[in-house]
């Protein structure tokens, strides 16, 4: 949950000492911080109360064991003696967040709001369905190299999820990415994330979104991000978080890191860029970007893979990761991405609830006939980037197919499309990546043509001319 109370009252600030279990600390007007213990290495979980006219909205519930429930019993007699819980928001299905949801809802007679993905996952974990059983989990860990001794320990503890979540919610109010949730004096936007859990819901206030920018759409936010960087003191830290792929423009975040590092190297030499990447590695042009970070920008850029984002603390500009907290002077969060609201409302986002699966001959939705989808909204074929050039190619194949369908003509059975992407390493040197994709009738998807495409050998000035010409030509093709 993220919040900035600047528009609705002075922020009390988060104290250095956390609230003891069983107590609540007001950190902003009608926003209270609770902390509950956990019986494992990450020894606590933070929970939140938002004051309503006749009670509270509770965000997350703690681990479902006797110790935590004893602390809740104390809250029943103190915090909730005159203001009961009227609604529970469960951000995700992990035991430290969902463990007491059903128990608390039964006690207060209140509703539980959560995403469909988290509700279904909780029941699958408890019931050991659809690949969520202990044997499936052990097999997953084994494939990723877990030691035999640890696998044996997992085997011995059985379904440990049921220990922390004795009972999953029987009913829920569905949260969908982009929903507006009124709680207290604020309206919070639901932002769904995919990776830490199936469909994690974060809550962000408008004030928070103005303070922590995504700047992933050119315009007001990119200008605002520039102003934040200009205002940052020399010696400050710019932290950028990259979501799990697929996302629009795979090399974009790494190019941004280079441009910020260029600015720091010339204007703020004591400053630093930290890239928190939720992915296992750099997603595009890896050798070229890492060469820049280890060369020209050595000491300015720090890259941290496998950095899944769990929460954001707006008041301190802190990115809260699975096992670490990273504080910034300027914090740039690129959000997880998905097809637009219209596609999701129509049930067309049938690839993990995020993107639309299509017939690559026509770009017709596989969920809704006679609706064609292209560009960033589709679930891409393997190694097919979400780029402007690729969307341009989708549009041409789709347009030709629609004309053929309307005129009883023949749809091209073997379309071939290409992609080229240029990135600026500094203000003069450029790199590129290119690929060619052909329809494969056997797999009914687009496959990279063997031996096609290429990658720059190194950053160079010569390709700057090509980059500028490519941009002018594709803009003219798409915008005129």
CB 203 within 8 A of CB 177: no
Last residue of a domain, one of 147, 171, 205: 205
pLDDT of 21 reads 82
pLDDT-based confidence at residue 15 (cuts at 50, 70, 90): low
92 and 157 share a domain? yes
180 and 32 share a domain? yes
379 and 453 share a domain? yes
Instruction: Please say if the pLDDT value at position 398 is more than 70.
Output: yes
Assign 218 to helix, strand or coil.
coil
Average pLDDT over residues 119-129: 94
pLDDT of 4 reads 42
The pLDDT tens digits of the residues spanning 207-265 come to 777 889 999 988 999 999 999 999 999 999 999 999 999 999 999 999 999 999 999 99
Helix or strand run (H / E) with residue 263: helix 252-267
216 and 241 share a domain? yes
Average pLDDT over residues 98-109: 97
pLDDT of 225 reads 97
249 and 126 share a domain? no
Cis, peptide link before residue 234, omega less than 30° from 0: no
pLDDT of 3 reads 43
Average per-residue pLDDT in the chain? 91
The pLDDT tens digits of the residues spanning 41-69 come to 888 999 999 998 789 999 999 999 999 99
Give the whole-angstrom CA distance, residue 382 versus residue 386: 11
249 and 272 share a domain? yes
69 and 187 share a domain? yes
200 and 216 share a domain? no
Last residue of a domain, one of 311, 333, 355: 333
Token pair 């956390």 in the structure block, residue: 18
pLDDT of 11 reads 39
83 and 195 share a domain? yes
Report the DSSP beta bridge partners of residue 180: 189
pLDDT of 12 reads 41
Best mean pLDDT range from 92-96, 318-322, 345-349 = 92-96
Number of domains in the chain: 3
pLDDT of 195 reads 80
* Cβ partners under 8 Å of residue 178, min gap 6: 189, 190, 341
The pLDDT tens digits of the residues spanning 16-38 come to 688 988 889 988 778 899 999 99
The domain of 364 spans 341-479
Report the DSSP beta bridge partners of residue 160: none
Instruction: Please say if the pLDDT value at position 88 is more than 60.
Output: yes
Could you report how far apart the first and last alpha carbons of the chain are, in Å? 43
What is the Cα 329 distance to its own chain's centre?
21
pLDDT-based confidence at residue 9 (cuts at 50, 70, 90): very low
140 and 251 share a domain? no
140: domain CATH number?
A: 3.60.15.10
Closest CA to 59 of 121, 125, 122, 2: 2
pLDDT-based confidence at residue 341 (cuts at 50, 70, 90): confident
Average pLDDT over residues 327-345: 89
What is the Cα 425 distance to its own chain's centre?
25
pTM: 0.70
Higher pLDDT, 385 or 311: 385
Average pLDDT over residues 330-339: 92
Q: What angle do CA 423, 425, 431 make, to 5 degrees?
A: 45
55 and 134 share a domain? yes
Give the whole-angstrom CA distance, residue 411 versus residue 414: 9
pLDDT of 1 reads 52
Instruction: Please say if the pLDDT value at position 95 is more than 70.
Output: yes
What is the Cα 154 distance to its own chain's centre?
29
The pLDDT tens digits of the residues spanning 445-465 come to 999 999 998 999 999 999 999
373: domain CATH number?
A: 3.90.760.10
Residue 371 burial by Cβ neighbours in a 10 Å radius (0-12, 13-18, 19+): middle
Sign of CA dihedral 113, 310, 355, 253: positive
What proportion of the chain, given as a percentage, has pLDDT over 70?
97
Give the whole-angstrom CA distance, residue 106 versus residue 290: 53
pLDDT of 267 reads 97
28 and 133 share a domain? yes
Instruction: Please say if the pLDDT value at position 104 is more than 70.
Output: yes
Closest CA to 311 of 295, 301, 297, 324: 324
Give the whole-angstrom CA distance, residue 440 versus residue 444: 5
What proportion of the chain, given as a percentage, has pLDDT over 90?
73
Last residue of a domain, one of 205, 237, 266: 205
278: domain CATH number?
A: 3.50.50.60
Enter the tokens of residue 368.
Answer: 């809704």
Give the whole-angstrom CA distance, residue 472 versus residue 105: 58
């Amino acid at each position: 949950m993220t919040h900035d109370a600047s528009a609705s009252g002075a922020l009390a600030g988060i104290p250095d000492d956390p609230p003891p279990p069983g107590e609540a600390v007001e950190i902003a007007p009608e926003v209270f911080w609770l902390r509950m213990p956990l019986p494992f290495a990450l020894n606590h979980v933070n929970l939140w109360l938002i004051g309503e006219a006749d009670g509270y909205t509770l965000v997350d519930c703690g681990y479902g064991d006797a110790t935590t429930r004893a602390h809740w019993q104390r809250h029943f007699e103190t915090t909730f003696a005159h203001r009961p819980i009227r609604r529970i928001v469960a951000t995700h299905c992990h035991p430290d967040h969902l463990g007491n949801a059903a128990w608390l809802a039964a006690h207060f007679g209140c509703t539980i709001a959560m995403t469909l993905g988290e509700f279904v996952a909780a029941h699958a974990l408890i019931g050991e369905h659809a690949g969520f059983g202990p044997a499936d989990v052990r097999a997953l860990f084994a494939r990723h190299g877990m030691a035999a001794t640890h696998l044996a320990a997992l085997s011995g503890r059985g379904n440990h999820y049921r220990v922390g979540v004795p009972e999953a919610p029987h009913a829920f109010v569905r949260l969908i990415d982009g929903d507006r949730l009124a709680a207290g004096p604020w309206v919070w936007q639901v932002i769904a994330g995919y990776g830490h859990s199936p469909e994690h819901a974060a809550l962000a206030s408008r004030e928070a979104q103005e303070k922590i920018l995504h700047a992933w759409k050119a315009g007001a936010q990119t200008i605002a991000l520039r102003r934040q960087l200009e205002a940052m003191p020399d010696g400050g830290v710019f932290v950028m978080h990259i979501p799990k792929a697929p996302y629009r423009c795979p090399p974009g975040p790494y190019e941004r890191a280079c441009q910020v590092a260029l600015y720091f190297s010339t204007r703020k030499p004591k400053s630093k860029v930290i890239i928190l990447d939720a992915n296992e590695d750099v997603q595009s042009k890896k050798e070229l970007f890492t060469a820049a970070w280890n060369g020209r920008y050595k000491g300015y850029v720090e890259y941290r893979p496998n950095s899944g984002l769990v929460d954001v603390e707006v008041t301190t500009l802190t990115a809260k990761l699975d096992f670490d907290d990273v504080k910034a002077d300027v914090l740039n969060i690129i959000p997880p991405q998905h097809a637009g609201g219209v596609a999701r409302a129509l049930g067309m986002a049938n690839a993990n609830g995020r993107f639309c699966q299509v017939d690559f001959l026509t770009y017709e939705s596989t969920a809704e006939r006679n609706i064609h989808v292209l560009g960033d909204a589709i679930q891409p074929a393997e190694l097919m980037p979400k780029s402007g050039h690729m969307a341009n190619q989708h549009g041409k194949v789709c347009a030709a197919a629609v004309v053929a369908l309307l005129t009883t003509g023949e749809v091209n059975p073997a379309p071939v499309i290409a992609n080229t992407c240029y990135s600026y390493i500094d203000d003069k040197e450029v790199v590129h990546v290119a690929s060619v994709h052909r329809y494969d009738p056997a797999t009914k998807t687009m496959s990279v043509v063997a031996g096609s495409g290429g990658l720059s050998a190194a950053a160079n000035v010569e390709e700057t001319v090509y980059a500028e010409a490519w941009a002018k030509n594709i803009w003219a093709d798409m915008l005129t």
